[in-house]
Structure 1
Amino acid sequence: MSPRSVFGPYARLFAVPGSVAFSFAGWVARLPIPMLGLGAVLLVAGETGSYGLAGAVSGTLALSFSVASPQWARAMDRRGQGAVLRVAMTVYLVSGVAFVAAVTAGAPRWSWFVLAALCGASGPNIGSLVRARWVAALDDAGRRQTAFALEAVVDEVVFVVGPPLVTLLATLVAPPVGFLTGIVLGSAGGFWLAGQRATEPTLHVPDPGTPSRRWAALNATVLVVSAAYVAVGVVFGAVDVVVVGFADAEGVTALAGLVLAVFAGGSLVAGLVYGVARLPGTLVSRFLATAVAFGLAVQLLWGVGSLPVLVGVGFLAGLTIAPVLVSGTSLVESRVSRAALTEALSWTTTGLTLGVTAGSALAGAAVDAWGAETAFAVPALAAAGAVLLALAGAPLLRRGPRVPAGTGQPVARVDDGVKG
């Protein structure tokens, strides 16, 4: 596959008016995704010496985000992204700064959890907002798959840039600086995106005489994909904490962010190729195949015994991340009404962040109890769970509309007749 055949479809996406601005603003606004979780671990562990407490605080951030983000998305489907996003970003900025102040000033630890929860709950799912703008701008299903792959690559660039940046700032400057930088960048990107009204998706006014859009946003496909993504999220949350603990045990804490960036680098490469490949099979079969590949690749973590081995394993496992995320997102998009799309996409990310919450807490406790090397069992077992959940949900997925190979467009939509 030549570079032109890979990058050409991505370049053509940016012929869409306003797409460069909303995609780049979304990238900046997503930088806090890895920076805040890892930044909270570095900040709290630096202040207390406890990875268990650090993982619990980081997990609180993710849990509150996972509960609140679909509600923000639901409000944006009804009232528009701009107005709602401005309110959310204001609370996000204030609560994030207050959290850092509470930790560094030695405030009661219960206040750390309260402020972390408020900060997480005020952060909308920026990725779903950007993806909804692409769906509104693109009529062709193949181009939407490419756009989703682009956004998966953007997510991975965030994870390439964010962890090394927050680790270096926290270890070489001061622990609070990494977290604060993420808050400032995320707020700036969020306000920038909120100001781009021309590319907002069209509002769909609910009709009181038709079924609730809640059912469109939580159909069987969304539930199955979100459930599998819970286990995928456990892998992400656990790897963040265990890698920091492992690098600390090896005496190279400052390299933890670089190791995490390698995972994202592998996913970035795979995402670029997956987004332009025209693969055989239905969207259901692609999702199941990529879930199995992800689960098998992460089992390599059982063999990690040194930092160089971890780097190699991380890159190989990373190659399976973007495909499973893009395939699941494409499947959900094909089976949800446009009136509920932002919320439905947010539910899939809610599954991921619920998993991140559990993974951070479980891995933090495992590192404290067993040591970092043994704690790699947490993400490895979670990846196996992702495979089991995807395969268990396969009958439900196959009851939906069949999808022609290579198109990403359903023959008959599951939401036909579902409005509002």
Structure 2
Amino acid sequence: MARKRENTVSPRTLFSPYARLFAVPGARSFSLAGWVGRLPAPMLGLGAVLLVEGETGSYGLAGAVSGTLALSYGLAGPQWARAMDRRGQGRVLRLAMLAFALTGVAFVAAVTADGPRWSWFLLAAASGASGPNIGSLVRARWSALLDPVGRQTAYAFEAVADEVVFVVGPPLVTLLATLIAPPVGFLTGVFFGVVGGLWLAGQAATEPPVHPVDATAPSRRRSVLTPTLLVVVVTYLAVGAVFGAIDVVVVGFAEEEGAPALSGAALAVFAGGSLVAGLVYGLARLPGTLAARFVGTAVAFGLAAQLLWSVGSLAVLIGCGFLAGLTIAPVLVSGTSLVESRVSPGVLTESLAWTITGLTLGVTAGSALAGAAVDAWGAQRAFAVPALAAGLAALLALAGAALLRVPHPADRAPVAGPLVEDDVRG
């Protein structure tokens, strides 16, 4: 009995790495603000699909508009991040949130008033471009406060926070759009984004240090676009295509099955599986290098998504979605950790934003392709789009493995602690 007690690990001990994260002053506040600020991520894309499809009956047009929003968000994210690295998160965030609120409301007004189609695309692009990637801002704060071991736990926690957003967001936006009115879902996402962004902007004590432009330093572009970052971003293009396609196909499939209100719940199942995997990944001390973990998790992601070929009912979709979701958080955490381990502090936020850009560019392609596939083939056959995209992600990671084995000169790993900046510059 005594031996059994000795070998028993209490939940409190098991989750103590997460508890230590929030012993850091200010961590609870900036992490919660970041979580609220990320709610637009699942709500705006799906909200745009529901809004446009409700007005026009076309999934192709809905996917194209939603993809345009995601595309502009992905392209603008690194530009916002670069400005924040140079001028501080708070100053830039306040400006961004003002633009985000105005363009989001204008987009909804154009669609509901049946304005010219070109105005829908223009305002969707403006709305996406006005939203900085909040997740990269929170991760940059963790990176400035923690050592490498703590960062892995923090990044895993942030992946879990991302998945909680994707558990809560799709059912919420679907219910608001179907039970009240399509514009309400989209506008609620805008509201949460503005509240979270302004809340985060007010927390100056945990902001990462500002890194003004140094005219004598090597090219900033070379220090950002490293081989490691390029491999991760290219792989994330395909991962993002899975996410974008799933949003559109699941909505179409639920409607075909006569249960459109369940589309959000079905999407939440994917995030639920990822949430479970993220919690476990953050506690595990895995063997191998960060590069090997990234390639391995990408291959697992590609294989698990092949379950989507078997979807024939909502019950099967829920089962397959949960199993496929178990591979999402690991590939996202491992890629983020790999990039963070090999960049200089002065370009950290921008580098992390580029990984999100890869995802969102993929979302653009995935949502547009899936929308066309649903219109042409029906939703059940359109599950081929996310399945094939996931297989491509695995192949791209394997193809780039040789570039990841040995850090290149541009892949400069920061040292933990207060000496990071001096060590990198020196």
- What's the counterpart of residue 332 of structure 2? 325
State the alpha-carbon separation in 1 of the partners of residues 14 and 304 from structure 2: 24
Task: Say which of 60, 69, 75 aligns to 2:77.
Answer: 69
Rounded Cα–Cα distance in structure 1 between residues aligned with 2:415 and 2:422: 14
1:389 aligns with 2:396: yes
Looking at structure 1, the residues matched to 37 and 208 of structure 2 have their Cα atoms a distance apart, in angstroms, of 18
Q: Which residue of 1 aligns with 2:407?
A: 400
Q: Map of 1:6-405 to 2, 5 A cutoff?
A: 6-138=14-146, 140-400=147-407
Structure 2 counterpart of 1:240, which letter?
Answer: D
Q: Which residue of 2 aligns with 1:405?
A: none
Instruction: Return the offset for 1:214.
Output: 2.0
Deviations 1:316-344 (A, max 9, x none): 00000000000000000000001100000
Q: Does the CA-based 8 Å contact 1:290-1:324 persist in structure 2?
A: yes
Distance 2:157 2:308 in 1: 28
- In structure 2, how many angstroms separate the alpha carbons of the residues matched to 1:53 and 1:301? 24
The alpha carbon displacement at 1:248 in A equals 0.4
Task: Give the distance between the partners of 1:409 and 1:254, measured in 2 at CA.
Answer: 49
List gaps (5 residues or longer) in structure 1.
Answer: 403-407
Q: CA shift at 1:5, angstroms? A: 4.0
- Cα pair 2:415 2:423 within 8 Å, conserved: no
Shift of 1:355: 0.2
Cα deviations by residue, 1:282-307 (Å, 9 ceiling, x for unpaired): 10110011001000000000000010
Task: Give the CA RMSD over aligned residues.
Answer: 1.7
Q: Secondary structure at the match of 1:10?
A: helix
Shift of 1:3: 2.7
- What residue ranges of structure 2 are gaps of 5+ in the alignment? 1-8
Dislocated runs of 4+, deviation >6 Å: 415-418
Residue identity opposite 1:349 in structure 2: I
Q: Aligned in 2, Cα 1:333/1:370: closer, same or farther, shift over 3 Å? A: same
1:205 offset after TM fit, Å?
Answer: 2.5
- Secondary structure, aligned partner of 1:336: coil
Q: CA deviation at 1:217?
A: 1.5
Q: Is the contact made by 1:216 and 1:418 (CA closer than 8 Å) also made in structure 2?
A: no
Give yes or no for contact 2:136–2:349 (8 Å, CA) kept in 1: yes
SS in 2 for 1:251: coil
CA distance, structure 1, for counterparts of residue 317 and residue 415 of structure 2: 39
Taking the aligned partners of 1:324 and 1:103, their CA distance within structure 2 comes to: 36
CA distance in 1, matches of 2:188, 2:111: 16
- Deviation of 1:418 after TM superposition, in Å, equals 6.3
* Shift, 1:218, TM fit: 1.1
Given that residues 277 and 326 in structure 2 are in contact (C-alpha distance below 8 angstroms), is that contact kept between their aligned partners in structure 1? yes
SS of the aligned residue for 1:124 comes to coil
Q: CA deviation at 1:212?
A: 2.0
SS at 2:48 equivalent: helix
The answer on whether the counterparts of 2:227 and 2:408 sit within 8 Å (CA) in structure 1 is: no
Task: Give the structure-2-normalised TM-score.
Answer: 0.94
- Aligned-residue offset at 1:6: 3.7
Q: Distance in 2 between matches of 1:22 and 1:47?
A: 38
How far residue 276 of structure 1 moved from its aligned partner, in angstroms, is: 1.2
Aligned mates of 2:11, 2:332 — CA distance in 1 = 23
User: Which residue does the alignment assign to 2:5?
Assistant: none
1:206 positional shift: 2.8
Give, as a single letter, the amino acid of the residue that structure 2 aligns with 1:375: A
- Could you tell me how far 1:310 is from its partner in structure 2? 0.2
CA contact (8 A) 2:277 2:327 kept: yes
Change (3 A) 1:22 1:317: same
List per-residue Cα deviations over 1:146-180 (Å, max 9, x = no partner).
00001000000000000000000000001100000
- Contact 2:53–2:59 (CA under 8 A) maintained in structure 1: yes
Q: How far 1:11 sits from its partner (Å)?
A: 1.2
Aligned equivalent of 1:4, options 5, 8, 12? 12
Task: Give the TM-score normalised by structure 1.
Answer: 0.95
